[in-house]
Structure 1
């Protein structure tokens, strides 16, 4: 005999299981209003692998241009005592312009991706633009080919392609994951660190065999292989079902016949009905005011009072729908439906005697709501004033503009926005400096070594950072005290960038490179959850657009303001990391909302 206690437990478990099954988030809905559930795996992991391979090769473009710049400087036989500056090679303009354009176009590309909803086409189009920019930059790989126009356009093409494919990758991952979205995003964000480890080894070997332009073209060919992986970008099945269902609903609605939209409240005895076994019961009511059937039996049905008024008019032989409006304003014979205003004296508005009583409407009512008030009351003499009422589109655009202005005002008054912008600025600038200027600076510290030695030193530094970066994958989804964690990472980064400027030993260079690489990669991984936790009350597009514009303006202004030495670049990165660490740590004691 069963235990009553166990039966009660089984009943409660069945009820909980049934409640979970009925939860809307666990049901693949047929309409987007409910919100379909992403599959959380399956084919989505192939999307993650393809996105990771793309992020291994494309962000490594900074390391590519850094080593190509180093090769061009060595071919020029640069003197050891002379300090290197960022504009000694005009090729440095390509990665800087590429970064600026990518930041400025990310929000627009995200909007384009969501509007067109063609993931494979958008991803491949962005890849083609990136490859075109890299190939175009191959014409400026030596010291004597300083063509600013070519480098600017190469940076524009590469930056546009990176923004388009990158935003398509971010969007399509959210379509395939919900509960495992955080781990999928962290895997993709960790991929550039793998590229920073593998790319120096490959490019360093190519630098010992080929010239600079050939190296760039070979790497462009490697980038083009991503088309095999980006071709896997496709919409999930549940989104395809939603699109088909919505289209069928719209098509069926367009095929429906028009029905009676107004009816006479005084219904007399209904007319005889006809029964069709396939179509059901149909009934024609002569007392309906407006009936319009667009498919069949099109005829006009009038109210009996309207028909009686038509018969009692003085001119019975005149059609109600007339195209002769010459006698429109005649007192005895005027058509009710007329569009010929040839006899209307638009100069003298006093001829419209029917509306003269509206001039005294203010005296008749305290809160008047007159019809055609603007055409008769307080009008200039001998003129007609027509009201300009706003259209639905104008009202909608005005409301959208007001909403965006309110969003931006609230965003600019919140301290969390500035925290996110500061972390974004320090991380992006550090990645740029570490990728483009670090190879040449390592050779400047130890000028007797070869390019292969420099490349292996950089690879070992990024590889050591990758070992510590694996710990970021096991961090919980909701990380408590994110500000203090980011402050710790930024402090390590400030220490690493400052150590690069004072060290001339290979072992110390590897150690400082590891600290700088680990800090930038970890801050990039924590940047998204920090953004979600602090700025989720604001509009995402406005926040991303504003922060990207701030970072792009800072990088472009800094690069064009002065021809800095390489040591100054690393000191600037160290100062930014230190300021970010201090501010995050100081604000971590405030009460979070």
Structure 2
């Protein structure tokens, strides 16, 4: 019984000790040690709100694909005519939206971190996106093409998507740590759900209303996301634990009086003065500045406290003119005071009269252009010349350190294999999503002119729904999938097969569904695998540099592709298949090389 009681006491003490060492009670300057996110609770509401946003907003590409199809059908086309990308000017909206979103993601991420207002930034981005979509309703048919309207529509929508998307990515990391991977995968899988629902909704609206009305209705549907984005708020542990704890520490530091000594020998000096005051009096004054101590008790009613030996030395030397300001004997035969600073009658271009250590400033004479208060001596200066020290200001030092840090980051990034893998996968995934959303609906109608808009939208929904059954498996896969290069190569090879199969199939609807299923599954799985490659960089600064550079490369590539030529619809899918097979080969080759984890 006694042993059992001791065990219970030890367990209780151990439990108290563990509870006291809980990270919520630790305040540190490093982010690795600090309050623990709840990994659930209100965070799941954040994930649900983010998923609802990604169901309706990123799938706006499918909206414009069906609107382009509706505009093509309303315009007279000859049988067998080959359709091209820029036949409808409204195709500018989704292309510019993707480009602007890529270019502004890094700036929006910095803005999100600086302002720390999740609800305001998320709702602002949503309003900009809805404004861009509503503005594009003025150019929905073949007879009202307006380049200016479409360009500004794409810009507004791209800015809004970048703001809300980056706010969503950051706020999820505030609520999850252990389950962060699963939460991110759920959010990234949401667009696949939207690809199943949005085509059915838009296809039905297109059979009932004109193109401009359909776009305005969908904009109103997107605006309902404000009910979900209003749930974005900072976690309570950030508000109560971190801020309260640091405020308490700061207040405590301000109230306590601090005594700081500049030299450990100060204690020895005090003891010597107290034990033998006469010896300290007869002893010559100490000229060592290391023993000078000036201590202030507190910020309020500050009073200078001098060490007895220092006070004795100051009283003794007060009778001597240590810092003379008599400037009359500077150029006499008498030895000059080495601390004198009368240079009113001195020609600054002539230094033959200066000898030894002297200052070069006069602050007591009124001259039109006064000299600086202090300048370097000319003891070692060449004759008839002036030497100034290369003083570095704090601002210059910070800028120099920032440039060095940026240079080191760029060098490390360019030497990292993960950067190239992430950039290539990002380009392949973004281009594939753009082509599959915007170009696929009119291509189906081109290959099957007998189909109407409702049948085309149904075929697209069925294909994406079949792919969703496989995409859901990516959520439950373990974290070890993150670093499997061969698995990513298999997904890209599957996508290459799907995109190339779409270019070959003409009138067989079943094969179109199968090929679209492969293409949709590949793009969604690759989008999920982008996150581990993005997180595999060294630190936050390297992560930002990697994301910025990769986004710029992808945006410039898509811009060059869109401006280079007016491609046929099949050519777009053929280019996507080439990108997929190239990415698969690169990832397969990298799997045989040891990469930095």
TM-score (norm 2): 0.83
**Which residue pairs with 1:296 in the alignment?**
301
Alpha-carbon distance, 1:379 to partner: 3.9
**Counterparts of 1:289 and 1:536, CA distance in 2:** 42
Which of 436, 439, 442 is matched with 1:434 structurally? 436
Alpha-carbon distance, 1:428 to partner: 0.8
Alpha-carbon distance, 1:508 to partner: 1.6
The yes-or-no answer on 1:574 pairing with 2:582 is no
**Counterparts of 1:254 and 1:11, CA distance in 2:** 40
**Which residue pairs with 2:357 in the alignment?**
355
Aligned length: 553
**Which residue pairs with 1:309 in the alignment?**
317
> Structure 1 residues 389 and 511 mapped into 2: Cα distance closer, same or farther (>3 Å)?
same
Q: Deviations over 1:505-527 (max 9, x none)?
A: 22221111111111100111122
The yes-or-no answer on 1:29 pairing with 2:26 is yes
**Which residue pairs with 1:528 in the alignment?**
531
Alignment check: 8 A CA contact 1:494 1:573 kept: yes
Gapped regions of structure 1 (runs ≥ 5): 271-286, 315-319, 358-371
Alpha-carbon distance, 1:43 to partner: 0.6
The yes-or-no answer on 1:98 pairing with 2:97 is yes
**Which residue pairs with 2:280 in the alignment?**
none
**Which residue pairs with 2:190 in the alignment?**
191
Alignment check: 8 A CA contact 1:375 1:387 kept: no
3-state SS in 1 of match to 2:86: coil
3-state SS in 1 of match to 2:480: coil
Alignment check: 8 A CA contact 1:469 1:521 kept: yes
- Which is worse superposed, 499-508 or 424-433? 499-508
**Which residue pairs with 1:112 in the alignment?**
111
**Counterparts of 1:565 and 1:518, CA distance in 2:** 24
**Which residue pairs with 1:243 in the alignment?**
243
Alignment check: 8 A CA contact 2:338 2:358 kept: no
- Structural RMSD (CA): 3.6
**Counterparts of 2:338 and 2:126, CA distance in 1:** 65
- Which is worse superposed, 403-412 or 163-172? 403-412
- Which is worse superposed, 519-528 or 389-398? 389-398
TM-score (norm 1): 0.83
Which of 397, 402, 405 is matched with 1:403 structurally? 405
**Counterparts of 2:357 and 2:339, CA distance in 1:** 19
Matches within 5 A, 1:64-103: 64-103=63-102
Which of 486, 497, 500 is matched with 1:498 structurally? 500
Alpha-carbon distance, 1:29 to partner: 3.0
**Counterparts of 2:314 and 2:593, CA distance in 1:** 75
**Which residue pairs with 2:45 in the alignment?**
46
Alignment check: 8 A CA contact 1:328 1:340 kept: no
> Structure 1 residues 377 and 354 mapped into 2: Cα distance closer, same or farther (>3 Å)?
closer
Q: Deviations over 1:267-312 (max 9, x none)?
A: 3459xxxxxxxxxxxxxxxx98535565326579673333333334
Alignment check: 8 A CA contact 1:31 1:242 kept: no
> Structure 1 residues 149 and 383 mapped into 2: Cα distance closer, same or farther (>3 Å)?
farther
**Counterparts of 2:97 and 2:251, CA distance in 1:** 45
3-state SS in 1 of match to 2:468: helix
**Which residue pairs with 2:286 in the alignment?**
none
The yes-or-no answer on 1:560 pairing with 2:548 is no
3-state SS in 2 of match to 1:539: helix
- Which is worse superposed, 240-249 or 133-142? 240-249
Matches within 5 A, 1:318-337: none
Alignment check: 8 A CA contact 1:197 1:459 kept: yes
**Counterparts of 1:298 and 1:12, CA distance in 2:** 52
Alignment check: 8 A CA contact 1:119 1:172 kept: yes
**Which residue pairs with 2:126 in the alignment?**
127
**Counterparts of 1:328 and 1:233, CA distance in 2:** 76
Alignment check: 8 A CA contact 1:124 1:230 kept: yes
**Which residue pairs with 1:168 in the alignment?**
167
Gapped regions of structure 2 (runs ≥ 5): 276-290, 360-373
Alignment check: 8 A CA contact 1:80 1:444 kept: no
Alpha-carbon distance, 1:131 to partner: 1.6
**Which residue pairs with 1:148 in the alignment?**
147
Q: Deviations over 1:547-587 (max 9, x none)?
A: 11111111111110000000000011111111212222233
Alignment check: 8 A CA contact 2:534 2:543 kept: no
**Which residue pairs with 2:510 in the alignment?**
507
**Counterparts of 1:300 and 1:384, CA distance in 2:** 42
Alpha-carbon distance, 1:189 to partner: 0.4
- Which is worse superposed, 471-480 or 344-353? 344-353
**Counterparts of 1:339 and 1:131, CA distance in 2:** 70
**Which residue pairs with 1:369 in the alignment?**
none
> Structure 1 residues 261 and 28 mapped into 2: Cα distance closer, same or farther (>3 Å)?
closer
**Which residue pairs with 1:137 in the alignment?**
136
**Counterparts of 2:7 and 2:481, CA distance in 1:** 35
**Which residue pairs with 2:485 in the alignment?**
483
Alignment check: 8 A CA contact 1:346 1:383 kept: no
**Which residue pairs with 1:388 in the alignment?**
390
**Counterparts of 2:252 and 2:24, CA distance in 1:** 25
**Which residue pairs with 2:467 in the alignment?**
465
Alpha-carbon distance, 1:534 to partner: 7.4
**Counterparts of 1:328 and 1:116, CA distance in 2:** 62
Alignment check: 8 A CA contact 1:443 1:449 kept: yes
3-state SS in 2 of match to 1:457: helix
**Counterparts of 1:420 and 1:297, CA distance in 2:** 59
3-state SS in 2 of match to 1:517: helix
> Structure 1 residues 514 and 22 mapped into 2: Cα distance closer, same or farther (>3 Å)?
farther
3-state SS in 1 of match to 2:472: helix
Q: Deviations over 1:234-254 (max 9, x none)?
A: 111121131343345446656
**Which residue pairs with 2:223 in the alignment?**
224
